[in-house]
Amino acid sequence: MKLLQYYFILFQITTACGFLCLQATRNAEYIVPRNDDHDRELVRQQLGYVPTNWVCVSARTQAGDPIAIQTYPLQGGSMRRQAKAKMSDIGTPFPTLFWFTNPLIGTAIAELERQGYIQRIQESLNKSEKEELLACHEKYASMRWESLSSDHRQKLIEDPSLQRLRTMLQCSGVAGTMLSGSANMDSIPSIKCLHAHYAQFRSCRELGNPVGRRVHHWLQEDFPDLVL
């Protein structure tokens, strides 16, 4: 019963955030893997598998448990998705640069989402926080683009058939939010997923994602026993 509940919650989290790659994958090539077997084992326990495009643990709780990992922007996802992408010979795009992995914190954040906190944050951000949030989206996109190998970047720039993929990897922010050139403060992109913002907040503390900051505050208030 407990296990079922856990999987159900995990399923909710992953679908809510648009992660479509619950399938474990085998025999895939790793790019820029780090030799950290212990971390990989911790993440395997959290997700049930180690993502093929693993790079490193990017955020941890005070107890040292992973909160999020950094992934490579290509060659992630299930074998099915990867096989489909073979045609383009560059692999499947994986826009989630900081991938939330922690089931306990994840459940708590899902609870906040259920209670309507996305809407609440959306409506209460002031002007300077909106500016901060836009900067966070832009930073997310540029970090993702810069994390590609120069070979992959060049291919994406030069091959016209990869234009859409390039746009996705170069111009989408946190939680796949598309960034338009003329960002308007009155219509900031909707906050799609608190997990994704919290993953960035914890992975890049110096950026101070204002959505992640509020999530952190509410987690402390509403879940005092949770180790963050």
Please report, as ranges, the residues that interact with ligand NAG according to CB under 6 A. 126, 128-129
**Nearer to ligand NAG by C-beta: 50 or 191?**
191
Comparison of 27 and 126: residue with beta carbon closer to ligand NAG: 126
Least Cβ distance, residue 198 to ligand NAG (angstroms) = 16
Cα(124)–Cα(111) distance, integer angstroms:
19
For ligand NAG, the closer CB: 126 or 180: 126
Task: Note whether 174 and 209 are within 8 A (CB).
Answer: yes
Beta carbon of residue 173, minimum distance to ligand NAG (angstroms, whole number): 20
**Smallest separation (angstroms) from ligand NAG to the CB of 133:** 11
Q: How far is the CB of 123 from ligand NAG (least distance, A)?
A: 13
Name the residue with the smallest CB distance to ligand NAG.
126
| Nearest one of 25, 69, 26 to 46, comparing CA atoms | 69
Beta strand segments in the chain, E: 54-60, 66-71, 98-100
At closest approach, how far in Å is the CB of 200 from ligand NAG? 17
Residue in 101, 86, 13 with CA at minimum distance from that of residue 54: 101
Quickly list DSSP for 157-192: HH-GGGHHHHHHHHHB-GGGPBPPSS--GGGPPP--
Q: Of 126 and 184, which has the nearer Cβ to ligand NAG?
A: 126
In this structure, are residues 90 and 74 in contact, taking their beta carbons and an 8 Å threshold?
yes
Cβ proximity to ligand NAG: between 35 and 126 the closer is: 126
